[in-house]
Structure 1
Amino acid sequence: MTSITMPFSPLTPTEAMERYGHELTFADPSDDSRIVVRPALIGTLFFERGSQPAIRQALLHCFDKFRASYGDKLSGGRMADTKYSRKTIKGIESMRQHIVSTDINRTVEFVLCDAVNHMTAPEYLVKSLTKQNLLEEKYGVLSYIKFILPWSFAESEQGLAQYHAFMSFCCTTLPVRGGYGGLSAVLPYDFDRYMPMEYQLAQRFTGLEVDSWGFAENRQFEAGYIKSTNWYTILGEPFVEKLGGEQTVRERLAREDIDIERCGNALIIRAGRFPLLGAPEEGPLDPYIFVNRVIKGLRNPLRKSMHSYMEGVESFAEEETRRWVARFDEPDAPMDEGTPQAGRGMSALPFQTCPRSGRWVANHLGNQIVHVKAGDFMPGPERSDAGNQVVWYLIHEAQ
Structure 2
Amino acid sequence: MSLLFGTLNKEGRVYANDRYDARAVMRWTYESIFFDSVPFNLIPPIRFPAQLAKCPTRNEDSTGEVWSGRQIPVTGIWEPWPVDPKIGVRCPNYYLVGDTASQYQFEGRDTLEDVRWRLIWKDSRYMSGGIPSEEDDYFAPDLSANLNAPVVRQARPGEVCPESGEWYAPHLNNKTFRMSAGEIMPGPELGSTGAVIWYLKLRPQTPSVD
Query: TM-score normalized by structure 1?
Result: 0.22
Which structure carries more helix by proportion? 1
Please tell me whether Structure 1 or Structure 2 has the larger radius of gyration of its CA atoms. Answer: 2
TM value normalised by structure 2: 0.38
Higher relative contact order (CA closer than 8 Å, sequence separation 6+): 1
